[in-house]
């Protein structure tokens, strides 16, 4: 290992220590609640929320992905899919960031939703995941609105390609901040995002022969205030429980502090809501053999600490690791070690 590599590895680690979990309070919890208000039964509401939450891996906690497609590697497919799912814009990749600005509720953001609500009535039961996916894109157009920032986790060591990278816009806090996704900072945007979500849900065809009775938007709008202003996990939990959603384990991964009470629930059905089985995760596995071994080691460290050693599976086998470090136990103890355990446990 030459002297630059440990420094670079340390730089990458430090660059991501502000990152945290996916903001499932919106993508899972709020979507589930809105679906119930729109008249969906509990199980259907959960399915829609799961479909929404599964569109993960495009955000800052998945920084390794942007490293693979826009920094160390340059790969148009990864960049294009990240844009389509999390930064809907009229622009194409590669292309200058200003041409790829995200418009909240714009045509690109609404496209998938407009398609999914046209599903024939007979197929509506089987397209709830797709509905969730479309809602995710629409929702992200509010949190990620503006000109995408270019992550620069490599500092002076390498630059990321601004024509392919997607990061939280500078006007929303920039690539290295979670502010863009935290509802308490953007009450008007969060309300508008919820309203757009609700409109799509109410337009979705009826399931089987079960008619839905949706509450009026005016009736539910004031109820959102407590959700929007909640600034800790305790406050978010309190709101969901007050709204008859008692299983709040989905809040485990969000980046807000615990608050008044320690939050020790473990996310249920992690397989369903986590990224391990998602298309994005598989894509990431395809991409990583092309990155240098030191970066693959960093990716592996993160996988061990964020998803557990078992989750590495096939992905681990594809990593271009040097032969003397092939055993992940050795990597865990030598490279990740106590420092890694400390850093990655925060993701
Ligand atoms: Zn997203
Ligand atoms: Zn985000």
Q: How far is the CA of 100 from the centre of ligand 2 (A)?
A: 16
Please name the residue that has the structure tokens 């050795």: 330
Q: How far is the CA of 280 from the centre of ligand 1 (A)?
A: 11
b vs e for 242-259, b when ≥16 Cβ sit within 10 Å of the residue's Cβ?
ebebeebbbbbbbbbeeb
> Which residues surround the ion ligand 2 when the cut-off is CB under 5 Å?
59, 181
Residues 113 and 286: their CA atoms lie apart, in Å, by 29
Q: Which ligand has the shortest distance to the CA of 254?
A: 2
pLDDT at 281: 42
Q: Which ligand has the shortest distance to the CA of 61?
A: 2
Please name the residue that has the structure tokens 């939450």: 53
Mean pLDDT by 10 residues, the chain (347 residues): 40 34 82 98 95 72 69 80 92 96 98 97 92 96 96 74 94 91 96 98 91 96 98 97 96 89 78 37 45 59 54 49 46 44 39
Q: How far is the CA of 54 from the centre of ligand 1 (A)?
A: 9
Q: Which ligand has the shortest distance to the CA of 88?
A: 1
Quick one: which of 252, 250, 234, 233 has its CA closest to 345? 252
Q: Which ligand has the shortest distance to the CA of 57?
A: 1
Whole-structure pTM value: 0.77
Q: How far is the CA of 179 from the centre of ligand 2 (A)?
A: 8
Q: How far is the CA of 219 from the centre of ligand 2 (A)?
A: 29
Please name the residue that has the structure tokens 């502090």: 257
DSSP secondary structure, 120-159, as one string: -GGGGGG-HHHHHHHHHHHHHHHHT-BSPB---TTTTS--
Q: Which ligand has the shortest distance to the CA of 178?
A: 2
Q: How far is the CA of 301 from the centre of ligand 2 (A)?
A: 23
Report the Cα 87 to chain-centroid distance in Å: 11
Q: How far is the CA of 60 from the centre of ligand 2 (A)?
A: 7
pLDDT at 303: 57
Listed by start position, the domains of the chain span: 20-273, 292-344
Using CA atoms, how far residue 132 sits from 16, 30, 141, 274, in Å, is 28, 12, 15, 15
Q: How far is the CA of 123 from the centre of ligand 1 (A)?
A: 26
Q: How far is the CA of 343 from the centre of ligand 1 (A)?
A: 23
Q: How far is the CA of 179 from the centre of ligand 1 (A)?
A: 14
pLDDT at 128: 95
Q: Which residues pair with 149 in a beta bridge?
A: 167
pLDDT at 103: 98
Phi first, then psi: give them for residue 30, nearest 5 degrees: -65, -40
Q: Which ligand has the shortest distance to the CA of 24?
A: 1
Q: How far is the CA of 262 from the centre of ligand 2 (A)?
A: 25
Q: How far is the CA of 247 from the centre of ligand 2 (A)?
A: 24
Q: How far is the CA of 55 from the centre of ligand 1 (A)?
A: 6
pLDDT at 292: 59
Q: Which ligand has the shortest distance to the CA of 167?
A: 2
165: left (phi over 0), alpha (psi -120 to 50) or beta: beta
């Amino acid at each position: 290992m030459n002297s630059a590599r440990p420094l670079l590895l340390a730089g990458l680690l430090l660059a991501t220590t502000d990152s945290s979990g996916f903001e499932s309070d919106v993508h899972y919890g709020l979507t589930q609640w809105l679906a119930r208000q729109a008249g969906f039964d509990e199980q259907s509401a959960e399915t829609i929320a799961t479909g929404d939450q599964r569109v993960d891996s495009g955000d800052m906690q998945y920084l390794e992905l942007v490293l693979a497609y826009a920094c160390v590697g340059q790969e148009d497919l990864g960049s294009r899919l990240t844009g389509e799912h999390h930064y809907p814009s009229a622009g194409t990749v590669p292309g200058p960031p200003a041409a790829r600005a995200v418009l909240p509720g714009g045509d690109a953001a609404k496209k998938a939703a407009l398609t999914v609500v046209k599903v024939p009535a007979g197929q509506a039961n089987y397209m709830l995941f797709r509905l969730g996916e479309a809602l995710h894109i629409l929702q992200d157009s509010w949190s990620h609105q503006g000109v995408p920032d270019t992550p620069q986790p490599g500092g002076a060591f390498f630059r990321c390609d601004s024509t392919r990278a997607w990061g939280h816009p500078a006007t929303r806090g920039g690539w290295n901040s979670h502010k863009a996704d935290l509802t308490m900072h953007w009450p008007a945007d969060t309300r508008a995002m919820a309203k757009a979500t609700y409109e799509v849900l109410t337009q979705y065809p009826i399931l089987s022969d079960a008619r839905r009775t949706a509450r009026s938007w005016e009736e539910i709008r004031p109820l959102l205030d407590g959700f929007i202003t909640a600034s800790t996990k305790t406050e978010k939990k309190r709101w969901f429980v007050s709204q008859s959603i008692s299983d709040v384990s989905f809040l485990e991964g969000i980046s807000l502090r615990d608050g008044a009470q320690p939050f020790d629930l473990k996310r249920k059905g992690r397989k369903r809501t986590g990224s391990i089985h998602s298309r994005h995760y598989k894509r990431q596995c395809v991409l990583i053999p092309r990155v240098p071994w030191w970066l693959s080691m960093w990716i592996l460290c993160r996988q061990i600490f964020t998803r557990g050693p078992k989750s590495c599976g096939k992905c681990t086998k594809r990593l271009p690791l040097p032969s003397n470090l092939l055993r992940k136990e050795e990597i865990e103890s030598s490279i990740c070690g106590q420092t890694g355990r400390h850093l990655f446990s925060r993701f």
